[in-house]
Amino acid sequence: MTKFQFPESIRSRPVYGTLEPRPGKAHLMIADAEGAEALLDLATREARLFAQGHIIYIPKTTGETYTQRLRDLGPAQFHVGPTYEASVPRIRRVLSDAHMGLQVYLAGTEGLMGQAQNEAMQAGIPHSAIQTEHRGSVARRMQCVHCKGITEDVVTDPFVCSHCGLNLFVRDHYSRRLAAFQGVCIDAEDPGNLPDPVELYT
Amino acid sequence: MTIQFNTETFRDDYSFRNSDWAIKRFPFPFHEDSYMYSVNMEQHRGGPEGSVYEKRFDVDEHYVSEMQDRAIVLADDPLRCQSLPHMTLAGWDTLELIMVSKSEDYPDLFELHRDGNRWRWINKPMGIDHTFTFLDETTLPCGPLEYITRQAQGDYAVLDQRGDMLYMDAGMVTTQADWSLDFDIGMDFFEWHAPVPLAHEMGIFKRALKFLLNIQQGAPARRLNWTMTVNPLLDTSPENYHKWGIQKTSLTPENIGAKQHLRVELQTFYRLPRSNALLFPIRCYLIAFQDLVRIPKWGRRLHRVVRDLPDELATYKGFIANRPLMLDYLGRHDDGLPTSPGVWPDLDSEPPLQTQNDARSR
């Protein structure tokens, strides 16, 4: 699958790179869905990383497509979680046990990478030291600036806040602390006058 | 002079009014007949007597009512005041700076009596007489930043400085021009300014950051910024935009003079002594168009600035849809005469508005 090239945007919008092997005593790899492909590509460049690797993988809609191939990389620990939320206690425990020399690799959707990056930052790892690679859906995790509720996997602009029901437009302004983009009421000045929702990046 | 504090509202019936005194001392932000972004920093070491620049933290006739409005906003949304855990010391620095400045600059309104860390703070306009222990949070009803900024006009961003970068790590934000502290807290200088158009490409933020990083204790700086607000609404927050946005569509040729306000921010910058943080007060002043055009020079100039502003800026500042209405109104207060340089009203030297009859008789 080819990687999606995000167009250039404002300074708060995250940019993602390509995972590369880095020397370290331990390697924590967290991925969802097509993010598995980034880990498989990483293995083609340095397969030995995985002997000290801990993979936490959330397949989402990809089901069994990648799980066996990831297992075949031979990671020291391999965990498949049903949702990101369900894997959070595990991620926190791993980060709290971590020592100097841990490398963190995140791959997949922006929501997964943003939330996992936030956990790592809270554990004291600077965000600039965490590698990320976007794969798969361009869906966004959005915070409603009005009610503060988070709507996951937003794929259209505008969209309806899953908490308060306001019609929100999708901004590129992004908060690492919230791991979310900002959604703002689109029809405040003309209630009910809504453009047709358009899929992001189409 | 003794300030007569207004009883007024910044919501619902909008009874906010500027006295003649407040109109003449309004911080008009345009020093020439056009506007473009600039860093436009100067030292904040006083200014002409009676001007908003004279004192370190200006107190005016709106003080008590603005503090009541802030209390309403905070009761509705406590997230408007936040401080990341490492910013408590900067909060104490802020409290000290404001208490010392106000008690020295307005001794008839504020008193600070210090006996070691045992401090007694008297705020006469708000009826507060409180003794507490400096640097001991348990002796205040809330954190030090919230405590003092519930008693000081304007928003306050407290910026931590680490590795040649400023971080928005604490603040009190209830009178903002459409930005969210809750969303932006923790961001670096370039990130929280990310949505501003054009200025990044112009290098404005790089130069501004360089300047701010070098601000020293005892040498504060200031600049002005501006936007437009329909109705004298202090809380133009993104949080409540779904409630107030509709008001922007309420302008008519009949009501624009009373409803449309120029909103000016007096931004100041102070290095804090213990935390080395940068305190960034953002003081909001509002003036109705009908009051502003009573200063002939300002009426002429505002018309020219609004008329010639690039569309991107009018869009960003949120008044592109109302610009034609604004120009109709302001155009009637611009006779085409030249204006004197600088921001001051120059009432003694600038001619009154020439009506069409005047023009014909000349």
* CA dist., res. A39 & res. A32, Å (int): 10
Please answer yes or no on whether A148 and B79 come within 8 Å at the CB atom. Answer: yes
Q: What is the mean pLDDT of chain B?
A: 95
| Cis status of the peptide bond prior to B48, with omega within 30 of 0 | no
* CA dist., res. A78 & res. B158, Å (int): 43
* CA dist., res. B262 & res. B235, Å (int): 15
Q: Which two tokens stand for residue A132?
A: 């990320």
Instruction: Tell me the mean pLDDT in the region B124-144.
Output: 98
Q: List CB contacts (< 8 A) between B183 and chain A.
A: 143, 145, 173, 175, 178, 182
In 3D space, the residue among A152, A97, A93, A102 whose CA is nearest the CA of residue A131 turns out to be A102
Local structure of A142: helix, strand or coil: strand
Q: Please say if the pLDDT value at position B358 is more than 80.
A: no
Residue from the list B193, B238, B249 with its beta carbon closest to the beta carbon of A189: B249
C-alpha to C-alpha distances, A26 to A113, B84, B165, nearest whole angstrom: 19, 30, 31
Q: Please say if the pLDDT value at position B361 is more than 60.
A: no
The residues spanned by each domain of chain B are 20-352
Instruction: Tell me the mean pLDDT in the region B98-107.
Output: 98
Q: Please say if the pLDDT value at position B50 is more than 50.
A: yes
Question: Among positive and negative, which fits the CA dihedral A86, A90, A91, A93?
Answer: positive
* CA dist., res. A122 & res. A137, Å (int): 26
A184 with A145: CB under 8 angstroms? yes
Q: Which two tokens stand for residue B312?
A: 């991107």
Does any CB of chain A come closer than 8 Å to the CB of residue B241?
yes
Residue with structure tokens 């490409």?
B201
Residue from the list A12, A171, A185 with its beta carbon closest to the beta carbon of B241: A185
| A186: nearest CA partner in chain B | B242
Q: Please say if the pLDDT value at position B362 is more than 50.
A: no
* CA dist., res. A88 & res. B62, Å (int): 49
pTM, two decimals, is: 0.94
Phi/psi of residue B342, nearest 5 degrees: 90, 170
Question: Among positive and negative, which fits the CA dihedral B271, A127, A121, A153?
Answer: positive
pLDDT of residue B200: 86
**pLDDT beneath 50, residues of chain A:** none
* CA dist., res. A110 & res. A92, Å (int): 19
State how far residue B215 is from chain A, nearest Cα, in angstroms.
Answer: 24
Class of domain A26-134: alpha beta
| pLDDT band at residue B359 using 50, 70 and 90 as cut-offs | low
C-alpha to C-alpha distances, B235 to A89, A145, B178, B229, B260, nearest whole angstrom: 39, 14, 8, 10, 15
pLDDT of residue B197: 83
Q: Please say if the pLDDT value at position B92 is more than 50.
A: yes
- Tell me the residue type at B141: P
pLDDT of residue B360: 52
* CA dist., res. B171 & res. A137, Å (int): 36
Active-site positions of B read 223
Residue from the list A11, A175, A184 with its beta carbon closest to the beta carbon of B190: A11
pLDDT one-digit tens code per residue, B246-295: 999 999 999 999 999 999 999 999 999 999 999 999 999 999 999 999 99
State how far residue B239 is from chain A, nearest Cα, in angstroms.
Answer: 4
Q: List CB contacts (< 8 A) between B164 and chain A.
A: none
pLDDT one-digit tens code per residue, B31-47: 999 998 887 899 999 99
Residue from the list A143, A177, A190 with its beta carbon closest to the beta carbon of B186: A177
Phi/psi of residue B77, nearest 5 degrees: -150, 90
Phi/psi class of residue B265: alpha, beta or left (left: φ > 0; alpha: ψ in -120 to 50)? Answer: beta
Q: List CB contacts (< 8 A) between B240 and chain A.
A: 146
Strand order across the A53-58 sheet: A77-80, A53-58, A26-32, A102-108, A131-134
* CA dist., res. B268 & res. A169, Å (int): 33
Name residues whose C-beta falls within 8 Å of residue A169's C-beta, 6 or more positions apart in sequence.
A157, A158, A183, A184, A185, A186
Which residue, among A11, A168, A194, would best test binding to B if mutated, counting the most B CBs under 10 Å from its CB?
Answer: A11
pLDDT one-digit tens code per residue, A181-197: 999 999 999 999 999 99
